[in-house]
A and B are shown apart, each in its own frame.
Chain A
């Protein structure tokens, strides 16, 4: 069966510091991968998605970037965090049915 992991689970970072969040999927090959952000009490904002290694589509211009160095690894990064980057970051994967399966999430607080 398929499993999706995210780490860290929680993170508190000062403004201006770098960020690296990691997502890995087990039990499937060539998944589509997605990064979402959810502000407190709000809906989901799609940040990036990837249909293959090195292929990244950006949905929202901002100070975040994503990379997919391996088939089942998706990384979200920032060089300098802003207060507005605080939120709940969710990674998801899908297969050809396009149903998305979500990871446990990373709660980021920028102070």
Chain B
């Protein structure tokens, strides 16, 4: 059974600081997805990482994938308040039609 773990589960950080969210998974996969969820809202796709070494960047967020280590990171640079949200990673197991989601990281940016 595929397991996806995120850490930390909760993260409170000051504006202007850098931090990284980690996503580990337990089985072979070369497709990993990052989503953002604002309170009371649905999930919004952020990044799709489709191969080992893939790196995607959008604004202050950068995601990377290391399939050999079974690890993805979501790096936040110079955080701003509007990045406060819950971030989920999800992994697509080879040969499967479904994603397995991590537990989510609730990020709060403090002014």
Contact = CB atoms under 8 A, between A and B. Distances in A.
Contact of B42 (A32, A42, A102): A102
Contact of A105 (B31, B42, B101): B42
Interface residues of B, number: 20
| Interface of B: prevailing SS | strand
A59 B99 CA distance: 12
B46 to A, nearest CB: 11
Contacts, number: 45
14 contacts: A43-B104, A44-B101, A46-B98, A46-B99, A49-B98, A94-B97, A98-B31, A98-B97, A99-B45, A99-B48, A100-B90, A104-B41, A105-B41, A105-B42
Contacts of B90: 100
A87 to B, nearest CB: 13
Contacts of A34: 98
